Amino acid sequence: MPTLPLHGRTAVVTGAGRGLGRAEALELARLGARVVVNDHGRPGRDGSGPVSAAPAEQVAEEIRAAGGQALAHVGDIADFDRARELVDTAVAAYGTLDILVNNAGILRDRMVFAMTEDEWNSVIRVHLTGHFNTIRFASAHWRERHKATGEPVGGRIVNTSSEAFLAGSPGQPNYAAAKGGIVGLTTSTAQALAKYGVTVNAICPRARTRMTEDVFAGVPAARDGGGPDPLAAEHVAPLVGYLAAPAAARITGQVFVVHGGMVAVLERPRVAAAFDTAKDMFTFEELDQHLTPYFARRPPDETFAATEVLGLRKGGTARG
């Protein structure tokens, strides 16, 4: 029997009690990884009492029932100490951490002129700070392993961004900002950890989950003629499994869009135009001479936002 691609490796998946994280945890386990299933948990029905481990434990039990190894961790990874605890739990239980999949997130959608301070802060906290916290402790673990052996550690980080940051989703200024920040965190971390043999990539998934049920309420759950839901989380999980595997050792600092049987590799931003001053320093008048006619020639809706990604579908590539 061939060895599974993630055999002997340990993975942490955040927000894995349901939806996309659950599908990713199950796929990593199917590929042979030992999985620490993290979920925020939930309080008792009256809002009091201990936090329930039910979602995370149910996924861990599902993995164990299929013959894999898994354990549940309940904790808010946006809390610095809980993120430390999560990484320590993986290392204590399985002797190492090899794969980190950051998935946990929330939505608090509102137009920017109506958004509350808490709606802004909570989304930035869970998405962006949550990603940083787990990366902080996983990267320290890998750095120490590298220092001990001098060998590449083969660590993998898969972060979760969103098309919202690419397309400039108007009703999600907090979410778009957090997801754009995650891409910046991804590219910075990829550069920082390359010398340790760690790859860091980001995915922009489109999936029907409890968090996005309102967003995709109008999208049919089946294609014409049947077949799986094009927004099923199971379309996303195989890419996460691939990026976590040794086969993806040369892939780092990349951003992917994935959904419905399609994976797109995004190109980095490129310089569209550059202007030099004829003197030592630009003046208002000179900028007016250069930039006003340049933008007059460009279509008014051609901005830095890449709305064409929203048109990506299996069987065809959208062009702007």
> How far is residue 219's CA from residue 320's CA, in Å, rounded to a whole number?
23
3-state secondary structure 201-259: EEEEECCCCCCCCCCCCCCCCCCCCCCCCCCCHHHCHHHHHHHCCHHHCCCCCCEEEEE
| Structure-block tokens of residue 50 | 């201990």
**Catalytic (active-site) positions:** 162, 175, 179
Instruction: Give Cα 223 to chain centroid, integer Å.
Output: 26
